[in-house]
Chains A and B, each alone.
Chain A
Amino acid sequence: MYQYNQIDQTLVDERVEQFRDQTRRYLTGELPEDEFSALRLMNGLYIQRQAPMLRVAVPYGLLSSTQMRKLAHVARTYDRGYGHFTTRTNIQFNWPELAAVPDILAELAQVQMHAIQTSGNCIRNTTTDPYAGVAESELEDPRPYCEIIRQWSTLHPEFAYLPRKFKIAVTGATEDRAASQVHDIGLQMVQNADGEIGFEVLVGGGLGRTPIIGKSIRKFLPKQHLLSYLDAILRVYNLKGRRDNKYKARIKILVEALGPDEFRRLVEEEWAHIRDGELTLTDAEIARAKSFFTLPDYDANAASADAHASLSDSLATDIEFNAWYRHNTLAHRVDGYRIAIVSLKPYLEAPGDITDSQMDAVADLADRYSFGETRATHHQNLVLTDVRKGDLYAVWQALAANNLARSNIGTLTDMIVCPGFDFCSLANARTLNISDQINEHFDDMDHLYDLGEIRLNMSGCINACAHHHVADIGILGVDKKGEDWYQISLGGSSKEDARLGKILGRSVPASDVAITVEKILAVYVDQRGEDESFAQVVQRVGIKPFKERVYATAH
């Protein structure tokens, strides 16, 4: 993975001291509240319902075991022993003390981490495919480009006060696992007729109160122009994006208002000034970035007959392991290896939460079995990308001992859920109680397996932090005269066939969410053909049959 050089390290170290001074000036009254607010947000610090909340950047989701142990240490020393992985592959701490935040940042800087631009109206952490580098259908590993974008966007002097937050996702495989079509900019690696690899550029995707799928403004951008093109998009947005109304300030609103053609024209006009200038990437720079993401030293004996036999044996004798293998591991590009997903969706725990000892356990497993690295995913899980088949049983046992091996990946209970009212001051409704309710209601794993792949996402308000619009089943908390109600939508997707879900009808009270989901699933079971997934059935039959079942008056 990428290793900091002197410049990277100096930047985070000096940034810590800068923030320490800003915090001091704020606490002594020298720095006004509204300015400190913008400054602390650019350092990932929110003030929330319970306490400040600190969001730490995990660039494109990649963590070394040293970094993971440091996060465990931070959770243990400065927080209440846990952290929360978000859909943008960052980690949040819910209980730090404001005055201790500079010290936390200093600790993070020791392991090449920071909280820079994890919040605020600036360019946020760039996200990507959690299986980058090992995914079978990949054109090219997107991570070197993510790192190039990370550097360009970090403390960019011109783009620190954008109209609104700005999120970029990059994908390199045919499957889109980074929700790139619902990002401010989505970059998809593509090959042109000459066999060159470049990017298709999408802009103006986003969810929140105005959900919109991104529009393609350039079918093919040669790699060397990556930064100059991003620069042009950001400049047009910075100058023209709305600043009078924060709900209309995202780039998606600008793209909709101008139309994608006019927006493209403005970008291309701006780009013409800079396209062959200093930002043009050199071959040397691309090669340098790639040199940090070379293949690990795979074991040539990983696919040996012995390894195979030991795996088959464990699969045959241990049905729990067998279920985990089927649901939580995936094919790897290299023979003899599997991708193993660490479920952060244990029974009746907040989705995405992880304790300090669990983080330590994952770090140990990464060191022992997966070249010392872990990835965080958009679905709020972790991944050990390179596990030898012969080691899977040991990995599973260790995960199971740490409550990290629930075999529910891709199923109904592998939900994306935001913290909701329990932690978030913007929330309209609680979410964690509802995820518990759904877990209790659907606690039969065989039933879940029979239902197959289903994405359920739940947000506590229209800011849509949990991407409820692009789920098979989306749940949105709404406030009705002080009570929590939930609006359900069906048929969304954040994958390559990205589309927004359709609202089923009037919202349901908190007590009825799981039972409503059960009715929805019953319609699916009735209607499905052989091997037909929930998403396919919703696409084929539309939402009407679901609506009829859910709102049928009781006889």
Chain B
Amino acid sequence: MPLLIDQRIVTEDPWQLLDQAALDEGSPIPENGPVAVPLIWYRQHREALQQRNSPLGVIVNGDDDLAALYADHSQLDLIAIEFPTFRDGRGFSIARQLVRSGFNRQIRALGHVSRDRLALMQSSGFNAFAINDERFQTDHLQAFSEISVNYQGTTADPRPVFRR
């Protein structure tokens, strides 16, 4: 699955993302290397995960209760936000709230991620995008600059137009 980070195509993704289905089927947590697991699973197995001494991440979606996550994400190096469908826009607000809560490491968009929403996702706080193989084309990088101006401000420069 192609991955874009900071507007570059990344070939090596050190992260292993384990979704709930894989965990339910008994997939073991790899001994080494960065791992991300669903938020609920993380809450249940926090201590074991932290003992691995490798970077940790969580996978969240709009149905999760995120208040505790916003209050403390100091142990996490990646938060992946799932877009279950093209029309589900909750992930935009979650990214926004995460940035506001001070999270400044990787925020990765997962699930229904495609070209025409990349720029909006980036402005809302995402800095990494996992795109399905069949939808990916190298010209996707241009999507970030299709509209070069904005009124609202972005994560990089949060000032709305009237404060610049």
Contacts and interface: CB of A to CB of B under 8 A. Distances in A.
Interface string B79-98: 00000001111101110110
Interface stretch (A148-156, A524-532, A534-542): A148-156
Contacts of A285: 162
A158 B96 contact: yes
A34 to B, nearest CB: 6
Interface stretch (B37-45, B49-57, B103-111, B143-151): B143-151
B27 interface: no
Interface stretch (A98-106, A275-283, A429-437): A275-283
A158 B120 CA distance: 7
Interface in A154-212: 154-163
A273 B62 CA distance: 20
Contacts of B86: 34-35, 38, 161
B120 A239 contact: no
Contact of A273 (B88, B93, B100, B154): B100
A227 interface: yes
Given A39-B116, A161-B88, A278-B160, A235 B151 contact: no
Nearest to B120: A157
A477 B117 CA distance: 38
Contacts of A119: none
Contacts of B33: none
Nearest to B151: A151
A139 to B, nearest CB: 23
Contacts of B123: 157-158
A285 to B, nearest CB: 4
Interface stretch (A14-22, A383-391, A446-454): A14-22
A288 B161 CA distance: 12
Interface string B59-76: 000100000000000000
B94 A279 contact: no
A11 interface: yes
B147 A22 contact: no
Interface in B109-161: 114, 116-117, 119-124, 146-154, 158-161
Contacts of A162: 89
A238 B119 CA distance: 18
A506 interface: no
Contacts, number: 102
Contact of A7 (B87, B122, B161): B161
B160 A279 contact: yes
Contacts of B122: 157
Contacts of B149: 7, 10-11, 14
B8 interface: no
A92 interface: no
Given A152-B160, A278-B158, A161 B148 contact: no
Given A157-B92, A238-B89, A282-B163, A15 B147 contact: yes
A243 interface: yes
A282 B162 CA distance: 8
Contact of B116 (A35, A156, A239): A35
Contact of A155 (B62, B116, B150, B162): B150
Interface string A363-380: 000000000000000000
A7 B149 CA distance: 6
Given A7-B149, A279-B160, A288-B162, 8 more contacts: A11-B150, A14-B149, A121-B87, A155-B150, A158-B92, A158-B123, A278-B153, A278-B159
Interface of A: 7, 10-11, 14-15, 17-18, 21-22, 31, 34-35, 38-39, 121, 151-152, 154-163, 227, 235, 238-239, 243, 273-274, 278-279, 281-282, 284-285, 288
9 contacts: A7-B149, A17-B146, A157-B154, A158-B123, A238-B92, A243-B90, A282-B163, A284-B162, A285-B162
